[in-house]
């Protein structure tokens, strides 16, 4: 079935002259004259790499026609065509063929690179426009976009910004140059997609921001079973244009029309679409609620979305038991149960690890293998005290060595360094954590993983930067982001704004309880003893068993120190640092104490220092505990 396009898009610009030969032919002059006209008369010729005189050139017929009109009275332009002399034509043609052979040899031998630069090129992939009218196809265009991003991210020597980072440009009237300059990238890839039954039309355009030109464009019209061919062809062309075609990169590109069951990829993209919208508040974001006959309806519950994603990934695995990406997606779902505190059952992490290993057996060395497995071991260490942090670090190091520009790997590697700082207090580890988190943010500014980057900036007293990070990702998970924003306001001393945000948390219980602790810290800093007692009473009603609040004893210490009640302050400070979680990463909590004004008066007291020193000495004596 052929697809009827709903809007016309110019896909291949046939008004481009893509070589000196084409330019000279169009002007009816020899190449040497065209060289001179460019230099002396401003003939509008563009280069892929403006820094290289040997770069491949191209020109627009429309610009040349305008230039000819402007130069209509120039005697040089009015001269009789040099090509009317047949003998010279033959001579020039022979010379040109010889030069072309030499140039081709040099080009394909990479002696004359197609694009040269001392800097690593960077590319932003804008969300592909969905030309389907039905909202039930809404998952497809982001699925294709993310697949291309994932393939580009694997290429060496290329920085890739994710589509989530460019989502604000989805319906923008800005030009690719304007978008590219705002994002600080060298190139922009944009496109549109339309599918009907088992056919697809996909159009892409690749822009050079420096030259403000469309350097490559193509239209694909294929069966959906050839989707891997389309993706591979796009990656292959971009790789060649940017001169990235190393042996390792070429092994990644999929340029053949291998047999493929499209239904597997389709269900995989549906799962990713829902998983990527975790914690979204717009009920219309889930077009597959009706598709599954109302069994799962889009709402504010992130857990519901996670469970729906599990169903879809399992469906993909039923169709093709060797589809590695589906196992990795399913692994993420089970990790989320623990990471988001929905179900802290260690069996969820065991299931996640088994799924990662299954994906590794099918398709070894995918980037998500390293990032998923690192997160699993960090959670085992942090929550279940499995002494797995060293293994996590080794896995992350191996992954980052292989994929240095992968956003999720940089994020998890930064977190590994953050935990190392928590143990040893080495400033260099904290700086490495910031470095990798910053790189991850640059590559994917809208990822929920940047929440930890905001925490690091807050602990480093870079409050304005931390707020900027939060504002970038607020639409992904409003509750988590608003809570972190309120924390930032508190530690920077803006108690009023902090209070306003914390007062808005009524559910779920974890957020409500955490907000009450901070409201108590705010009230104590203002000397509001009666209000503090009221808040503590409310906390006791929400969580009757005081033992469940051990991890919040540092906040209780802050509250009592803020009120000047030293004995209670020291009681809860000692209780907190008696907990293994505090002993294992004391330097992180010392950072929190350092930015909390409630502790300022007491930090230099001998008893205060002794409690913290005891936790640090315990960690040094028990590094593997």
Phi, psi of 118 (to 5 degrees): -80, -15
Taking every pair of C-alpha atoms in the chain, what is the biggest distance, in angstroms?
104
Among 77-81, 125-129, 175-179, 270-274, which stretch is predicted with the lowest mean pLDDT?
Answer: 77-81
Residue 196 carries which DSSP code?
A: E
CA–CA–CA angle 288, 291, 296 (5° rounding): 65
pLDDT of residue 81: 38
Residues above pLDDT 70, as percent of the chain: 74
pLDDT of residue 257: 52
pLDDT of residue 585: 87
Q: Which of 14-18, 147-151, 252-256, 346-350 has the highest mean pLDDT?
A: 346-350
Residue 231 has pLDDT above 80, yes or no: yes
CA distance 145 to 464: 32
Among 55-64, 132-141, 156-165, 493-502, which stretch is predicted with the lowest mean pLDDT?
Answer: 132-141
CA distance 65 to 68: 5
pLDDT of residue 571: 94
pLDDT of residue 295: 27
In 155-223, which ranges are continuous DSSP H helix? 176-183
CA distance 557 to 575: 9
Radius of gyration of the CA atoms of the chain, in A = 30
CA distance 125 to 588: 36
For 203, the enclosing helix (H) or strand (E) is strand 199-208
- Contact between 124 and 183 (Cβ < 8 Å): yes
Burial status of residue 243 (CB atoms within 10 A of its CB: 0-12, 13-18, 19 or more): middle
Which tokens in the block code for residue 511? 């957020």
Q: 473-489, pLDDT tens digit by residue? A: 776 667 788 999 999 99
What average pLDDT does the structure give for the chain? 77
> Confidence band (pLDDT; 50, 70, 90) for 587?
very high
Residue 61 has pLDDT above 60, yes or no: yes
Is 382 or 559 the better-scoring residue by pLDDT? 559
Is 547 or 304 the better-scoring residue by pLDDT? 304
The packing angle between helices 389-402 and 367-384, to 10°, is: 160
pLDDT of residue 296: 32
CA distance 31 to 338: 67
For 125, the enclosing helix (H) or strand (E) is strand 122-125
Residue 412 has pLDDT above 90, yes or no: yes
Is 300 or 200 the better-scoring residue by pLDDT? 200
pLDDT of residue 310: 78
Residue 327 has pLDDT above 80, yes or no: yes
pLDDT of residue 14: 43
Which tokens in the block code for residue 62? 């429309």
Among 13-22, 133-142, 298-307, 497-506, which stretch is predicted with the lowest mean pLDDT?
Answer: 298-307
pLDDT of residue 623: 61
Residue 58 has pLDDT above 80, yes or no: no
Which tokens in the block code for residue 141? 């265009």
Among 8-12, 248-252, 471-475, 533-537, which stretch is predicted with the lowest mean pLDDT?
Answer: 8-12
Helix, strand, coil % in the chain, rounded to nearest 5: 65, 10, 30
pLDDT of residue 56: 66
Among 215-219, 276-280, 588-592, 602-606, which stretch is predicted with the lowest mean pLDDT?
Answer: 276-280
Beta bridge partners of 207: 188, 214
Is 54 or 373 the better-scoring residue by pLDDT? 373
Residue 292 has pLDDT above 70, yes or no: no
Residue 200 has pLDDT above 60, yes or no: yes
In 79-139, which ranges are continuous DSSP H helix? 86-108
In 136-212, which ranges are continuous DSSP H helix? 140-154, 176-183
pLDDT of residue 2: 34
How far are the Cα atoms of 472, 516, 544 from residue 540, in angstroms, in the given order? 35, 11, 5
pLDDT of residue 528: 93
């Amino acid at each position: 079935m052929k697809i009827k396009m709903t809007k016309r898009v110019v896909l291949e610009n046939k008004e481009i002259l893509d070589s000196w030969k084409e330019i000279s032919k169009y002007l009816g002059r020899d190449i040497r004259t065209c060289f001179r006209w460019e230099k002396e008369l401003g003939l509008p010729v563009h280069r892929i790499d403006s820094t290289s005189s040997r770069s491949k050139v191209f020109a627009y017929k429309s610009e040349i026609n305008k230039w000819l009109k402007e130069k209509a009275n120039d005697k040089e332009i009015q001269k009789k065509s040099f090509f009317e002399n047949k003998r010279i034509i033959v001579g020039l043609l022979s010379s040109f063929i010889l030069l072309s052979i030499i140039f081709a040899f040099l080009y394909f031998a990479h002696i004359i690179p197609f694009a040269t630069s001392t800097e690593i090129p960077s590319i932003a992939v804008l969300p592909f426009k969905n030309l389907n009218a039905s909202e039930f196809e809404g998952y497809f265009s982001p699925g294709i976009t993310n697949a291309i991003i994932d393939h580009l991210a694997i290429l060496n020597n290329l920085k890739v910004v994710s589509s989530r980072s460019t989502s604000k440009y989805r319906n923008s009237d800005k030009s690719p140059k304007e978008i590219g300059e705002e994002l600080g990238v060298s190139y922009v890839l944009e496109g549109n997609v339309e599918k009907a039954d088992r056919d697809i039309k996909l159009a892409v355009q690749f822009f050079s921001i420096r030259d403000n030109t469309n350097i490559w464009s193509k239209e694909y019209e294929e069966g959906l079973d050839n989707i891997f061919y389309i993706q591979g062809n796009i990656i292959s062309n971009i790789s060649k244009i940017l001169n990235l075609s190393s042996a390792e990169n070429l092994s990644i590109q999929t340029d053949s029309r291998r047999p493929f069951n499209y239904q597997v990829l389709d269900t995989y993209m549906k799962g990713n679409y829902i998983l990527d919208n975790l914690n979204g508040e717009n009920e219309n974001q889930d077009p597959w609620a009706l598709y599954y006959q109302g069994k799962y309806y889009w709402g504010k519950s992130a857990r519901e979305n996670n469970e729906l994603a599990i169903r879809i990934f399992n469906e993909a695995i039923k169709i093709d038991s060797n589809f590695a990406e589906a196992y990795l997606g399913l692994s993420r779902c089970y990790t989320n149960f623990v990471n988001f505190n929905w179900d802290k059952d260690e069996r969820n992490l065991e299931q996640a690890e088994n799924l990662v290993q299954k994906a590794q057996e099918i398709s070894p060395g995918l980037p998500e293998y390293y990032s998923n497995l690192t997160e699993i071991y960090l959670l085992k260490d942090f929550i279940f005290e499995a002494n797995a942090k060293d293994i996590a670090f080794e896995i992350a190091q191996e992954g980052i060595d292989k994929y240095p520009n992968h956003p999720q790997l940089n994020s998890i590697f930064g977190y590994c360094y953050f935990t190392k700082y928590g143990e040893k207090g080495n400033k260099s580890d904290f700086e490495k954590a910031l470095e990798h988190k910053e790189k991850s943010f640059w590559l994917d500014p809208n990822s929920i993983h940047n929440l930890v980057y905001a925490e690091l900036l807050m602990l480093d007293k870079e409050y304005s930067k931390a707020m900027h990070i939060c504002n970038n990702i607020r639409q992904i998970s409003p509750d988590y982001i608003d809570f972190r924003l309120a924390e930032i306001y508190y530690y920077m001393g803006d108690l009023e704004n902090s209070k306003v945000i914390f007062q808005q948390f009524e559910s779920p219980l974890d957020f409500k309880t955490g907000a009450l602790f901070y409201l108590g810290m705010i009230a104590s800093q203002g000397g509001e003893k009666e209000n503090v007692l009221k808040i503590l009473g409310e906390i006791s009603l929400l969580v009757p068993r005081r033992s469940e609040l051990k991890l919040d004893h540092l906040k209780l210490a802050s509250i009592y120190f803020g009120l000047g009640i030293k004995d209670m302050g020291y009681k809860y400070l000692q209780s907190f640092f008696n907990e293994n979680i505090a002993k294992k990463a004391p330097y992180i909590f010392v950072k929190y104490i350092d930015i909390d004004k409630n502790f300022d008066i007491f930090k230099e007291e001998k008893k205060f220092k002794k409690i913290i020193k005891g936790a640090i000495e315990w960690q040094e004596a028990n590094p593997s505990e």
